[in-house]
Amino acid sequence: MKEGHSTVVKLCDLLFQVYADNKMFDEAVGVYDFMESRGFEIDERSCMVCLLALKRFGTLEDCLALFERLQIDCYPKIADRLLP
């Protein structure tokens, strides 16, 4: 991976976490969409941060919607950890 490419991925991943932590869920999903469209992979810890923030501050529907996207969009490791 090129250094510039790696920097963009890290920046987007950080933005995703910061937006989620600050209850800016639409922006967090926007970053997720951007990364997905470019083929970038968000760190699974960042996805957990967003899911937990949605659980605390968002609606159950939003939390479940993101969880379903994560299951579908190549993050089965996260889904496997959360499901019994």
Q: What is the pLDDT of residues 11-45, one digit of tens each?
A: 999 999 999 889 898 898 899 899 989 988 878 78
**Which residue range(s) make up the domain with 50?**
3-82
Q: What is the pLDDT of residue 72?
A: 65
Number of domains in the chain: 1
Mean pLDDT of 56-64: 82
**Model confidence, pTM:** 0.73
% residues pLDDT > 90 (the chain)? 18
Average pLDDT in the chain: 80
Task: Kindly tell me the burial class for residue 74, based on how many C-beta atoms sit within 10 Å of its own C-beta (0-12, 13-18, 19 or more).
Answer: exposed
